Amino acid sequence: MDREAQALAGRIGGLTAWSRNDAATMVGPAHRGFRRRFERLVIEAAAAQGQTLTPDEIDARADRARRAYMLSLAAKSAAARRKGGPVR
């Protein structure tokens, strides 16, 4: 099977899966895992400072950590675009 046929089969399969399942089923586990990543970072940082956090404080700090991560990705992306280079 050539690349175009593989790409078409992949698109058909993906669209079929999305038509049969809701978003929570399709990406829910990934979103939960991504969220837990920031919760672990927050808990580890607090433990290193001898702090114990409440669940509400963990949620708030994890949200800020996620937002900071996304902003750093956006800054890197903007810098790469300013630098220029080949367009895909």
Range of the domain at 74: 3-80
**How far is residue 46's CA from residue 38's CA, in Å, rounded to a whole number?**
12
**Confidence class of residue 77 from pLDDT cuts 50, 70 and 90?**
very high
Is there a domain that residue 85 lies in? no
The count of domains in the chain is 1
**Confidence class of residue 84 from pLDDT cuts 50, 70 and 90?**
confident
Is there a domain that residue 88 lies in? no
Distances (CA, A) of 85 to 10, 74, 80, 81: 29, 17, 8, 8
Is there a domain that residue 37 lies in? yes
pLDDT, tens only, 12-46: 999 999 999 998 899 999 999 999 999 999 999 99
Is there a domain that residue 75 lies in? yes
Residue 38, number of CB atoms within 10 A of its CB: 20
Q: Is the pLDDT at 63 greater than 70, yes or no? A: yes
- What is the model's pLDDT at position 85? 65
**What sign for the dihedral angle of Cα 60, 62, 68, 74?**
negative
Residue 75, number of CB atoms within 10 A of its CB: 10
Q: Is residue 52 within 8 Å of 60, Cβ to Cβ?
A: no
**How far is residue 65's CA from residue 42's CA, in Å, rounded to a whole number?**
8
Is there a domain that residue 21 lies in? yes
pTM over 0.75: no
Is there a domain that residue 45 lies in? yes
